[in-house]
Amino acid sequence: MAERRGKYRLWQSGHHVSAASIEQVLQAARTDYTDFGLVHCIDEEDDYRRVMARGGLFDYMRSLKAQGVVRHLGFSTHTPSIARRFMETGETDLFMFSLNPTYDYSRGQLSYGRGQERLELYQEAERRGVGITVMKPFAGGQLRLLQSLCALPRRD
């Protein structure tokens, strides 16, 4: 599907474009279902409230799951507190989260969560059986700077 991606807009907002986008992706993949359906870029509390409101986008995703079009529901965020809110619903199976040791999120625009807060989030996801898929795995080539970074505590 990668060679045909340019024909399809995979990042859109709202029910009307989401339905068309999902249908295009399913047609391009020549399938009638997808394993995961994610609501993307939910970084602020207002985003979360809007998506989770009655009749909001997550209701639409639930209906796709009920129809068998989407098998598992998820979300993407940079914000640990938002990830926790989604997990507390008990309805999410996976989330996409920036998980890369080359980014220092203690500064700048994406300063969501400190190391300990993130570690606790990962542990909570593990306890709940919620998977994490990695956002920014190669860090735009910044992995070469890994030597100068602090590592997370090891789990034995």
Q: What is the mean pLDDT, run by run of 10 residues, along the chain of 156 residues?
A: 49 59 90 93 92 93 95 93 96 88 52 74 96 79 56 56
pLDDT score recorded for residue 20: 79
Q: Report if residue 29 sits inside a domain.
A: no
Structural tokens at position 78: 């940079």
pLDDT score recorded for residue 82: 95
Residue 142 CA to its chain's centroid (Å) = 22
Secondary structure of residue 52 in the 3-state scheme: helix
Please give the Cα distance from 131 to 154 (Å, whole number). 19
Q: What CATH number is attached to the domain comprising 106?
A: 3.20.20.100
Q: Report if residue 14 sits inside a domain.
A: no
Q: Report if residue 116 sits inside a domain.
A: yes
Q: Report if residue 41 sits inside a domain.
A: yes
Q: Is 40 buried (19+), middle (13-18) or exposed (0-12) by CB count in 10 A?
A: middle
17: phi then psi, degrees, rounded to nearest 5: -80, -30
Q: Report if residue 104 sits inside a domain.
A: yes
Q: Report if residue 82 sits inside a domain.
A: yes
Q: Report if residue 83 sits inside a domain.
A: yes
How many distinct structural domains can be found in the chain?
1
Angle of helix 45-52 relative to helix 57-67, nearest 10 degrees? 50
What residues make up the domain containing 50?
A: 34-139
Q: Of 93, 97, 115, which is closest to residue 106 (Cα–Cα)?
A: 115
